[in-house]
Structure formats: C-alpha cells, structure tokens
C-alpha cells in the first residue's frame, strides 16, 4: 500500500533534501547494476522476454491503483511490490533493477508525474528491489529444491525487508509533503497497510512457487496478477460501498428519535465515521445553534457565531434540505485537516444523509414544540395564571397524595389566607393595581414559606399554604404567624405606600375526611378569624357551625340559664418552685339533663350568638367570686381567674357589672384575674380600650391567655398592659420534641421578664416539664401533674389537707427551704436587678 496525499510535493527544502537522501544510494545501486550488466548481457531471447515481462509488470503495478480515502488522506493500493519481488526472483538482480527503473520511468511518464515525484519513485523502488534481492541472495535463491517450504521462507523474509524499506522511505516524504508528523503517519491506518501487505505476500509466494515448478508460466503472471489486482480492487470498492450503505441505513434508523439533542449527537458521531471527517458541524437556523464534534462526542454546543477551529479549516458544506428542497433547517459541514474531494458515490451518500438529518431535525423540533405546548397546558392546569402559584386543583391533588402516603413524615396542616378590604384596592386604584397587589402577596408567601410547603391561590384574594412535615401541631400556628407577618410589611405601588392586612385560618389534617375535610376546617377557621377580628385563628371543633348537634344546644340555653345548669370547676395554678397554690382558673361546665356534662368548647360560641352572653357571664363570675371568697375566709387567699369572651369587652357596661359583683362579695379587685383571648379586636376598637383600661385602673388583674397562638400578642401588650401571660398548652406539650415550640416558650419568658409580667404555663403534665419550665424562668403552671379541674369545695379540702402536711400546696418543692439554688443563666437578674422568685 502506497499512501498518496493530494498535497503537492512543492519545493520544500526539507523535502528536496530527503528525496536526495533516498535517490543518492539508489543511484549508486543503479551504477553498480550497470557495471554488472556490461559484463552479463542477455544470452537468449527467453531472457529478453523475461526482462520485458518484468518491465510490463512494474509499469502496470504502479499505474493500476485502488483508492481508499481515510479522513483527508487518499490511500492508493498498488501491486508493484509483487512485481518487484517476482522480478528480482526470476532475473539476475542487476537486470531486475534496471527493469524496475525502466518500468517506473514508463509509468511516471504515462501518468505525467512531476520530476521530483518520478525521481523519488525510481529511487525508492530501486532500494526496495535491492533489499529484496540481497535477502534472496543470502538465502541462496534459487535453491535446488522446488518445495513450498523452500519458496516460503526466503520470499517471506525478502518481502518483509522490501516492505520495511518502502515504509521507511515513503512515510517521511509524505509527512513532510503533507505537513504532518512522521510518527502520526506511521501509526495511522497501520491495520489497513498490514492487511493489504499480507494479501500481496500470499500472491507473491504462490506466483513464485508456480514459477519454480515451470518458468514458462512467467508470461502468464502479468495478466494473472493484473486480474487479481482488479478483482481485489473491485472487491474493496464493493465492500466499501456495502459498508457505507449499511452504515447509512443504521444512521438513518439511529436518527429516528424525537429528542433533538440526541439527534444532533448521533448525527455528528455517525457523519464523522460515515465520511471519515475530522470534525462535523451542524448549524440550525431555529434557535441560532451550532453543534460540533467528532466520533468521540460533542466538543461544542452553543451560538452559531463561534470562531472556527483553525485545525479544521477545510470544509465541505451541504444544506439540510428535504428531497424537494422546500424546507431548509440548517447546514451540515464536514471539516478536514487537509483538502478533500469526495467521490460521486460519497457525494450521493452525503446528500442522502443530509436529507435524512433534515427530516430527523424537523421531527424532533415538531415533537419539542408539541411537548412544550403540552407542558404549558399541564402547567396552566395546575397553576394560577396571574401569580404562578399552584391553583386549587394542584393543592387538592398534592394534599390528597400527601395525606394518603403512609411514608409521609410529620404533621400536615392547611392555612387559608383572605385579604382584608381588597375590594377597596380594586375600586380605588383599579383592577390592574389589584393584580399587582395579588402578585406581591404571592411573592411574599412564596419567599416566606418553607421549601416543603405548597403555596396556592384559590381564586380572587384567597390564598392557601399547605404546611407539610411539621414536627408538632402547635408549630402550624407559629408558621402561620410568620407568613401573615410577612404580608404586613408595606410596599410601593404606583407611588403609593400600601400595607396588606389579611385573616387566616389554620387546621391540622384530620384522621378522616382527607383533603376536602381539611380544606373545610381551614375555611371555618378563617371565617372565625374574620368574625373575631383575629389575624390567625386555629380550627376548634367547638366553633365549627357544621356540628348539627351543637346547633341543637341553642334551643336549650334559656332553660339552662334559668335552671342554673351552668356550673364552675376550678383548676389550681401552682408556683412551680415551691408547689404552693398561687391561683385557680374557673372553667365553665354545662350539666345538660340529657347529654350530661358538656365541655365549654362545644357551647361557648352558641352562647355568644344567642344573646344570653351577659347572663351566662354573670352566672360564671358569681360562682367564681363566691368560691374565692370561701377560700379567703378559710385562710387561703387564692386569686381566681375567669375567661372573658371578646364580645363581653364590646359591652360598655361590662366593667360596672364586674366591679358590682366584686363589691357584693366583698372581694378585693386584685383577687380577680380576667383572662383575655388574643384577638386583633382588642387592639383596634376604642370601646375595648376603655373597658380594659377601667378594669385595670380599678385593680382587676388582666392575663393574656393562649399566648403565642395568635398574631396580636405584641400589639395587645403595647396597648393594654396586662399582668400575666399564659403559654398555650400546645407549646408545653411539644417543647421536648419541637425546637420551634421550645423557642416560643423561651421568647415568651424573656418577654415576661423584660416587661415584669408573671408567666404561667398551661398543660404541665410531668415533672420533667415542670423542672424545665422552672429552670427557664417560668414561675407558675397548671396541668394534670398537679390537679384536674374540681369543684370549689373539693379544692378547699385539698388546700387544707396538702401533701406531706403542707397546707396550701399541691406539689413538693423543687428544692429544700434554705438551700442554695444555682439559677440557670436565663433566670439570673437582668439589668434592672430583678428576678422571678424561686
């Protein structure tokens, strides 16, 4: 195989020097051969015929070539090495060398090769023939035996020597002429050169074995070798075409995918292999995209206007068109390191490939467009068009899936948010401004929510947040307060400073009923928040108007008030450090003749709506004051705490009623504690300010109940100074398992210390809770650890009896009297030098 580049030899000095280095020893060999020939002319006509046959074989072997292009290099497969070995084997070496010179010169003249190429070809072939002839001489060729073995060994060694000389002389010249590295020329396509040499070696051995048997077959050798060469060339071309079409068919099948990236990756790799290109580039008109790579993968994928690789500046370009040339999706470029000319078959293959690639790109682009439209429709079906939040459908679907998943961790809750006075924004500033408000609210909810939460817009000015993975139910209220607080930060809208107010209802996922029931409960809680003026309201079954049984209780209220069916039980409030009773909370009970004892959570809302609230409140207050007076007369000056309905605070006569009852029972005002539920109404209405202000001025103590579960806590403390804070039982229950609940307790205690307020914890049920609260600085607590609610007389007997002979106590102290107590850092005196008593 003689690689032959299309790059002309030119006049490169290095090339001329290398050619001279090869021609000089060849010339010496030719001179020596001529001197030998002078003394040994052909003796017979048969010898002259042999020499003519050798000349013919050499000329034909050089001119008849099978060309194979690999990358930018065209490889020419010739059989002149067979002619050379046969020539030096059948004729004396000097005469064989001269025949080779004449044969090469004739072939070069016919092909009109440049002088430097002709000179190089003569010199190289002379050296190849000399190497083969000298090897045969060393083996004593021709031998006496005509066996196959006698031919095999010397001819094989001679052929190998000739091939090595051929490679050593040809490769450097081609490397310099094509401006490539010599090492690369030796390594590239060595397998093709080796396989071709093996085939020609077999032909050479067979030919010489036949000639050893009978030398007269020499005249038949040229047509035989020429036929074999043409047949081999035809077979190579046929096999090459078959492989190309098979590869083209496989490539077309591989392009039959709907992913555009996969189409481009496959096309680049297959085109590089199919057309032996150093690099392939596909430029798409749609999207201004160019993809470039080779058989190893994609090397560039980006904008079209990218500088070309200077190594691959030789390009063959073909548009990506269909068969009718009516659709043009881009351009296909084949890049080569050297100039290349495609054969007619390769050009047809390239057009076929480009057409198939055009179809594949169009199909992938069409599929991508369909997928994009489908994704948009799917997104629109589950998202709100204005805000981009999830819509009601997605909320219900994800909520239902989360509630039904057995592996779901934590507590799930739902928060509904309804903007207050949103209609005024639309009416005053227009619907465009209203839409901007909704977008701002959506952005703030999305930014404030946890990554696991799902924020949705249900329609109009109503939003929802699905709180997932909560460590405890009480944390839902804390999260809801943070979300509502985020909405209160003012923002600019068309030059106006706008502050958004909202009402929210929170419900924890029920055991049954699924997402529909959770949504209903959150909706009930939200309307309760609006009704009572609270920012955040937690769902309570007692306030659920959907309870038909509770609605039926409304008809029994007049009779219950008249027949004194409402009674009061008392739960002691304990000093956590000493175990002494520091107060008692009055808890209303309804002793219904049919339904038995009814919890206040089930009937209080019915009472508030019935118009009998003043009578009911007076009954409860009277019983509480009577009990406190009886304890006082027995030597236990225990204050009594009574819960006050927010509606009672809207009654201007309420303070007069309370003070009149205190005088009637001859009880000091500071022995009464009115517990207020957190509500925004308390901080907004002037009448509430007047009611609470008068009661406080008269000495009645005020306590803020369920602190931490409503938004208005701090607002209330800044407007109506209270005396006590009561931590909601949900935080106490979860303080050991929930860092957020513990943080709420610590912040409440810090607030109480800074404002000099008494802090009482509800729901204390075990000693570890009691000690932890006391060490944090909490002075009082109530819960089942100390006592359950009991009648006034029972509580009096309990106070008299006392555990361990200590009247007035219900629990052992946390330390002995007179002991030195090391207070935790949180209980040490603050800057004002005060601390809560131990």
The pLDDT, as a whole number, for residue 711 is: 45
The pLDDT, as a whole number, for residue 143 is: 62
In eight-state DSSP terms, residue 510 is: P
CA-wise closest residue to 75 among 335, 278, 340: 340
The pLDDT, as a whole number, for residue 224 is: 57
The verdict on 348 and 465 lying in the same domain is: no
The pLDDT, as a whole number, for residue 11 is: 42
Per residue in 139-153, pLDDT (tens digit) is 888 765 566 677 788
Q: Is the pLDDT of residue 682 over 50?
A: no
Report d(CA 67, CA 344) in Å as an integer.
Answer: 13
User: 338 in helix, strand or coil?
Assistant: coil
Mean pLDDT within 308-329: 71
The pLDDT, as a whole number, for residue 636 is: 93
CA atoms in the 13 A half-sphere facing the CB of 457 = 23
Per residue in 605-619, pLDDT (tens digit) is 777 767 788 888 999
For residues 780 and 302, the model is more confident at 780
The pLDDT, as a whole number, for residue 114 is: 81
Last residue of a domain, one of 219, 242, 265: 242
CA angle (701 as vertex; 699, 702 as ends), nearest 5: 135
- Rounded alpha-carbon distances, angstroms, from residue 210 to 90, 148, 535, 550, 773: 12, 9, 111, 119, 113
The pLDDT, as a whole number, for residue 100 is: 87
For residues 599 and 547, the model is more confident at 599
The pLDDT, as a whole number, for residue 765 is: 93
In the chain, the largest separation of any two C-alpha atoms, in whole Å, equals: 162
Overall residue count recorded for the chain in this entry: 838
Q: Is the pLDDT of residue 662 over 90?
A: yes
The pLDDT, as a whole number, for residue 835 is: 33
The verdict on 374 and 396 lying in the same domain is: no
User: 700 in helix, strand or coil?
Assistant: coil
For residues 484 and 83, the model is more confident at 484
Q: Looking at 234-243, 247-256, 311-320, 502-511, which range is the least confident one?
A: 234-243
The verdict on 215 and 88 lying in the same domain is: yes
Query: 227: which residues sit within 8 A by CB, 6+ positions away?
Result: none
Highest mean pLDDT among 324-328, 550-554, 638-642, 737-741: 638-642
The pLDDT, as a whole number, for residue 832 is: 34
Q: Residues 177-196, buried b or exposed e (16+ Cβ, 10 A)?
A: bbebeeeebeebbeeebeeb
Mean pLDDT within 181-199: 69
Domain with residue 228: its CATH number is: 1.10.1760.20
3-state helix vs strand vs coil in the chain, percent to 5: 55, 20, 25
Q: Is the pLDDT of residue 679 over 70?
A: no
The verdict on 17 and 157 lying in the same domain is: yes
Q: Looking at 96-110, 582-596, 699-713, which range is the least confident one?
A: 699-713
The pLDDT, as a whole number, for residue 203 is: 73
Report d(CA 489, CA 445) in Å as an integer.
Answer: 12
Alpha helices in 756-836 (DSSP H): 767-776, 792-801
- Rounded alpha-carbon distances, angstroms, from residue 364 to 368, 377, 757, 816: 6, 20, 72, 84
Query: Burial of 246 by CB count in 10 Å (0-12 exposed, 13-18 middle, 19+ buried)?
Result: exposed
Per residue in 626-647, pLDDT (tens digit) is 999 999 999 999 999 999 987 7
For residues 253 and 734, the model is more confident at 734
Cα-Cα end-to-end distance for the chain: 105
The verdict on 721 and 679 lying in the same domain is: yes
Per residue in 247-295, pLDDT (tens digit) is 777 777 778 888 888 888 888 888 887 777 888 888 888 878 888 888 7
For residues 757 and 549, the model is more confident at 757
The verdict on 738 and 669 lying in the same domain is: yes
Q: Looking at 3-7, 76-80, 383-387, 526-530, which range is the least confident one?
A: 3-7
Domains in the chain: how many in total?
Answer: 4
Q: If you average pLDDT over every residue of the chain, what do you get?
A: 79
Rg over CA atoms, the chain = 52
The verdict on 801 and 663 lying in the same domain is: yes
Mean pLDDT within 407-424: 81
- Is 552 inside any structural domain? no
- Is 386 inside any structural domain? no
Domain with residue 281: its CATH number is: 3.30.450.40
Q: Looking at 109-118, 154-163, 620-629, 711-720, which range is the least confident one?
A: 711-720
The verdict on 416 and 360 lying in the same domain is: no
The pLDDT, as a whole number, for residue 716 is: 64
The verdict on 692 and 776 lying in the same domain is: yes
Residue 150, domain extent:
2-242
| Position 671 confidence tier, pLDDT thresholds 50, 70, 90 | very high
Mean pLDDT within 695-709: 85
Q: What is the DSSP string of 374-441?
A: HHHHHHHHHB-TTT--B-HHHHHHHHHHHHH-TT--SEEEEEEEEETTHHHHHHHH-HHHHHHHHHHH
In eight-state DSSP terms, residue 596 is: E
Task: Show the tokens assigned to 178.
Answer: 């094509």
Alpha helices in 582-712 (DSSP H): 600-610, 613-633, 654-664, 680-684, 686-697
The verdict on 89 and 223 lying in the same domain is: yes
The pLDDT, as a whole number, for residue 831 is: 36
Q: Is the pLDDT of residue 366 over 50?
A: yes
The verdict on 102 and 232 lying in the same domain is: yes
CA-wise closest residue to 240 among 66, 356, 78: 66
The pLDDT, as a whole number, for residue 9 is: 43
- Is 252 inside any structural domain? no
Report d(CA 155, CA 549) in Å as an integer.
Answer: 114
The pLDDT, as a whole number, for residue 498 is: 81
- Is 822 inside any structural domain? no
| Position 656 confidence tier, pLDDT thresholds 50, 70, 90 | very high
CA-wise closest residue to 764 among 743, 779, 785: 785
The pLDDT, as a whole number, for residue 530 is: 80
Domain with residue 473: its CATH number is: 3.30.70.270
Q: Tell me whether the omega of the peptide bond preceding residue 142 falls within 30 degrees of 0, making it cis.
A: yes
Q: Looking at 58-67, 94-103, 698-707, 749-758, which range is the least confident one?
A: 58-67
Last residue of a domain, one of 343, 378, 413: 378
The verdict on 264 and 339 lying in the same domain is: yes
Q: Is the pLDDT of residue 182 over 80?
A: no
Report d(CA 339, CA 517) in Å as an integer.
Answer: 76
- Is 838 inside any structural domain? no
| Position 575 confidence tier, pLDDT thresholds 50, 70, 90 | very high
Q: Looking at 390-404, 497-511, 683-697, which range is the least confident one?
A: 683-697
The pLDDT, as a whole number, for residue 113 is: 80
| Position 132 confidence tier, pLDDT thresholds 50, 70, 90 | confident
Last residue of a domain, one of 515, 539, 563: 539
The pLDDT, as a whole number, for residue 42 is: 58
Q: Is the pLDDT of residue 574 over 70?
A: yes
| Position 408 confidence tier, pLDDT thresholds 50, 70, 90 | low
Highest mean pLDDT among 232-246, 329-343, 508-522: 508-522
- Is 546 inside any structural domain? no
- Is 494 inside any structural domain? yes
- Is 550 inside any structural domain? no
Per residue in 456-492, pLDDT (tens digit) is 998 888 999 999 988 888 899 999 999 999 988 888 8
């Amino acid at each position: 195989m003689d690689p032959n580049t299309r790059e002309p030899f030119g006049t490169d000095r290095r090339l001329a020097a290398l050619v001279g280095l090869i021609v000089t020893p060849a010339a010496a060999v030719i001179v020596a051969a001529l001197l030998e020939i002078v003394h040994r002319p052909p003796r017979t006509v048969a010898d002259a015929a042999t020499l003519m046959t050798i000349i013919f074989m050499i000329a034909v072997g050089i001119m008849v070539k099978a060309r194979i292009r690999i990358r930018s290099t065209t490889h020419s497969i010739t059989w002149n090495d067979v002619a050379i070995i046969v020539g030096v084997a059948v004729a004396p070496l000097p005469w064989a060398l001269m025949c080779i010179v004449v044969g090469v010169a004739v072939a070069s003249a016919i092909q009109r090769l440049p002088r430097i190429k002709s000179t190089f070809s003569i010199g190289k072939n002379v050296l190849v023939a000399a190497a083969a002839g000298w090897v045969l001489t060393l083996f004593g060729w021709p031998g006496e035996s005509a066996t196959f073995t006698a031919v095999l060994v010397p001819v094989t060694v001679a052929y190998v020597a000739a091939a090595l000389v051929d490679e050593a002389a040809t490769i450097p010249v081609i490397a310099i002429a094509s401006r490539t590295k010599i090492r690369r020329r030796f390594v590239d396509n060595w397998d093709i050169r080796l396989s071709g040499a093996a085939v020609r070696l077999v032909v050479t051995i067979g030919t010489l074995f036949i000639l050893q048997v009978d030398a007269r077959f020499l005249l038949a050798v040229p047509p035989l070798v020429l036929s074999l060469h043409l047949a081999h060339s035809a077979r190579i071309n046929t096999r090459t075409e078959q492989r190309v079409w098979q590869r083209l068919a496989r490539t077309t099948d591989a392009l039959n995918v709907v992913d555009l990236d996969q189409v481009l990756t496959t096309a680049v790799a297959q085109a590089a292999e199919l057309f032996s290109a150093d690099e392939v580039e596909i430029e798409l008109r749609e999207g201004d995209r160019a993809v470039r790579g080779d058989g190893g993968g994609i090397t560039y994928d980006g904008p079209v206007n990218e500088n070309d690789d200077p190594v691959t500046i030789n390009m063959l370009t073909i548009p990506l068109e269909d068969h009718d040339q009516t659709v043009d999706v881009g351009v296909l470029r084949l890049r080569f390191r050297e100039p290349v000319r495609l054969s007619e078959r390769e050009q047809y293959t390239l057009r076929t490939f480009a057409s198939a690639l055009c179809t594949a790109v169009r199909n992938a682009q069409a599929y991508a467009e369909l997928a994009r439209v489908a994704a948009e429709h799917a997104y629109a079906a589950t998202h709100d068009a204005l805000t981009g939040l999830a819509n009601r459908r997605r909320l219900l679907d994800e909520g239902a899936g989360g509630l039904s998943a057995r592996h779901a961790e934590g507590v799930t809750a739902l928060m509904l948010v309804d903007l207050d006075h949103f209609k005024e924004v639309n009416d005053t500033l227009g619907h465009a401004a209203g839409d901007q408000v909704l977008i701002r609210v959506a952005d703030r909810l999305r930014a404030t929510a946890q990554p696991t939460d799902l924020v949705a817009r249900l329609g109009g000015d109503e939003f929802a947040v699905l709180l997932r993975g909560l460590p405890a139910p009480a944390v839902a209220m804390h999260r809801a307060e943070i979300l509502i607080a985020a909405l209160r930060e003012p923002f600019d809208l068309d030059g106006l400073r706008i502050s958004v107010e909202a009402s929210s209802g929170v419900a924890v996922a029920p055991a049954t009923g699924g997402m529909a029931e959770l949504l209903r409960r959150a909706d009930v809680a939200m309307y309760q928040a609006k009704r009572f003026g609270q920012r955040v309201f937690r769902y309570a079954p007692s306030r659920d108007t959907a309870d038909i049984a509770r609605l039926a209780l409304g008809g029994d209220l007049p009779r219950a008030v008249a027949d004194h069916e409402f009674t009061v039980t008392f739960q002691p409030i304990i000093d956590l450090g000493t175990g002494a009773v520091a107060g008692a909370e009055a808890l209303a009970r309804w002793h219904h003749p049919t339904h038995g004892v009814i919890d206040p959570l089930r009937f209080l809302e019915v009472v508030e709506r019935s118009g009998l609230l003043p009578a009911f409140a007076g009954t409860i207050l009277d019983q509480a004051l009577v009990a406190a007076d009886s304890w006082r007369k027995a030597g236990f000056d225990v204050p009594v705490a009574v819960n006050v309905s927010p509606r009672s605070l809207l009654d201007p006569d309420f303070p007069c009623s309370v003070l009149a009852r205190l005088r009637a029972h001859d009880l000091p005002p500071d022995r009464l504690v009115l517990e207020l539920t957190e509500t925004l109404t308390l901080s907004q209405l002037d009448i509430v300010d007047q009611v609470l202000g008068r009661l406080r001025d008269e000495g009645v103590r005020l306590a803020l109940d369920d602190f931490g579960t409503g938004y208005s806590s701090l607002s209330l403390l800044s407007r109506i100074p209270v005396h006590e804070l009561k931590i909601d039982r949900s935080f106490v229950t979860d303080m050991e398992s929930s860092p957020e609940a513990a943080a709420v307790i610590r912040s409440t205690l810090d607030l109480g210390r800074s404002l000099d307020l008494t802090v009482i914890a509800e729901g204390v049920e075990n000693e570890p809770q009691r000690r932890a609260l006391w060490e944090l600085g909490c002075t009082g607590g109530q819960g089942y650890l100390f006592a359950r609610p009991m009648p006034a007389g029972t509580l009096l007997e309990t106070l008299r009896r006392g555990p361990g002979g200590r009247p007035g106590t219900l629990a052992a102290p946390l330390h002995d009297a007179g002991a030195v107590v090391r207070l935790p850092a949180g209980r040490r005196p603050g800057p004002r030098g005060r601390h809560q008593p131990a």
